[in-house]
Structure formats: structure tokens, C-alpha cells
Amino acid sequence: MHPVFYQEYLHLCIKNSDHPIKKKYNIVYKAIIILIALNFCVFYYTNAQPKKLEVTVAEIAADTRGKIGIYARVLESNETFEFNNNQHFVMQSVFKFPIAVMLLSEVDKGKFNLDQQVFIPKSKIKKTTSKLYEKYPEGNISVPLREILEDMVLYSDNNACDVILQLLKGPRALTRYLHGIGITDINVDFDEWGMQKKWNNQYQNWCTPQAQVTLLKLVFEQKLLKSETNTLLRTLMRKTYVAPMRIRGLLPKGTLVEHRTGTSATNDSGLSPATNDVGTITLANGKHLAIAIFLMDSYENNEKRDLIIAKIAKAAVDEFSGVQAQ
């Protein structure tokens, strides 16, 4: 029931002396009814989908060859927006964000030290997207854990990712960790090398958009990590050099964005299973918008896929910043 009609009904209940709701303890009933009405109206308006944003996203989706998934939440007010949020989207390198969170939680427990040396054999240095490969192509070298973490988050280093996942006892251990902190709409079966072995393997590393936003929220509220490790992670995500034309693409210069992207290969048919970006944006009004944008199984080219994400991010920022359309 719309809150206006609900409020009118309650008014009639109070006004009508013969109504059962007013038989006894009239003042108490009035107070209870007013509180219920206020709570209902607050819930309704806080949780309603922003209509203008809904229309904009629907228009973008109609012009997109691929499936879009979105979840957005203003962290201070819990205003939300979602689109295809109940579906499973291929993560690709987005999963490096939860990997970093799990590693740093283990650092906080004393299991690892960011200054410790990690031996990387030649077999773990593969020719792929990797700063480690560029620096140490022959492998068989000890590298500080901090450097490995930085390469994974800043440059989306696939070798660094798999080294860290091995330290954490593998993909299934990551899934168990995430489920243990209450994020259940996510699954990780393969590391980077495992995803590359077989095309369909990447579809086994999935999440809902809301799962990523929940993790962003927990990090923002510093509920998972100590102050030092939490600050380190957020700083690295703010400084990442990967895919600057997605969430950041159409935002005003200087907008603070802490994010992690994910990108699949494109097969011979032109199919790209994953083009993603998830992150927290500092709005002009001082609030923070956590947003996850996934584009799955798209036949658009690289530039258009990036632009689709950029347009959605810009529309969401305008909506939740209170910016009027020009």
C-alpha cells in the first residue's frame, strides 16, 4: 500500500470512534499507529528504486548486447538501486578484491607478515598479465608479500593472484572465508591459471552484484580489518591503474574512487563473458556510493563495454548526489 493511502486509512481509524482500533486506550493506540505510519513511510521512501535511474539503466540495457547487473548502496543512508541483482555474474579479476581482504585478515591475525619473503618458483611465473613476470621472468626468487599484494591490486597481476591464493590454501578456502563473514552469493572454484585452462571454468567464479557491495561496505565500515591493513587496501584500490574508463570514465576529474575491475578474454565469436568494475565512490555531497557493475556475455567491443559501465556509474552518482539532469 502506498504510504499516502496507508496514512489516510490510519487517520480514519483514529477518527472513527466505533472502529475496533479505538475501543480501549485511545491515546496509546494513537501513538502506536503514528509510530507505525512513520516507520512505514521511512521504509518505503528509503527502499524505493530511484525511477529516473531505473529508466536510464533500462535504456542503456536495451542498447547493449549483453547482460547488465548492478547493485548500488549509499553507505551512510542505505539508499539502494539494483538491476538483475539476483543473477550470477562472472567475476574474473574482481575476485582479487576479496582475495586481498582475506590475505590482510590473515595478516591481522599474525599468520602472515607483509614484510616476509615469499619464494616464487619459475613454474609460478607465467607469461600473462603480470608485473611479476616483467620484473622476474625467470622466477626462483623471494619477493616481499607486500610487493606481491601491491602488484595484484594495483596492476591486476595474475601471477601475484595465484601466489597469494596458494598461501591462502586455494579458491575453496576463499569461498569458505566469504561465506563465513556472511557473503554467501559468491563462489570461487578456480585461480587465474585454472580459469585460463578451460573457457567455461570462468563461469564457476561468480557472484551477485550485491555480494561485492556487501564486501565494500564491510571494508568501508572497517568491520573486517584492522586500521592499518584497512587503510592499505583502500589506498591501493584508489591508486589502481587498471581500466580507468569504466567507473571513473565520466566522473568529474578528482573524484575519489576505490575500485577493482575484472575483464575476460574475447573469443573468436566476439563474446566477452566479463567486463566489470566494483568500487566505492566519494560523492560531491560527502557521502559514499558503493557500486558493482557487471556486463556479462557481451558482444560489444572493448570501448563500448567500458562506456556502458561509465554511463551507469555517472547516472548513479548523479542520482545519489542529487544532481539535476541538464
Is the predicted pLDDT of residue 144 greater than 80, yes or no?
A: yes
pLDDT the model gives residue 325: 44
Is the predicted pLDDT of residue 5 greater than 60, yes or no?
A: no
Query: Catalytic annotation on 269?
Result: no
- Residue among 82, 93, 300, 319 flagged as catalytic: 93
Query: In angstroms, what CA-CA distances link 201 with 159, 188, 196, 198, 204?
Result: 18, 10, 8, 5, 6
pLDDT the model gives residue 322: 83
Average pLDDT over residues 250-275: 97
Is the predicted pLDDT of residue 42 greater than 90, yes or no?
A: no
- Cα 132 → chain centroid: 26
Query: In angstroms, what CA-CA distances link 158 with 133, 141, 238?
Result: 10, 17, 19
pLDDT digits (tens, 9 = 90+) for 26-35: 554 454 444 5
pTM of the model: 0.85
Mean pLDDT, the chain, rounded, equals: 89
* 41 — pLDDT class (breaks 50, 70, 90): very low
pLDDT digits (tens, 9 = 90+) for 173-214: 999 999 999 999 999 999 999 999 999 999 999 999 999 999
Average pLDDT over residues 299-311: 98
- Residue among 79, 147, 150, 192 flagged as catalytic: 192
pLDDT digits (tens, 9 = 90+) for 85-128: 999 999 999 999 999 999 999 999 999 999 999 999 999 999 99
Query: Catalytic annotation on 258?
Result: no
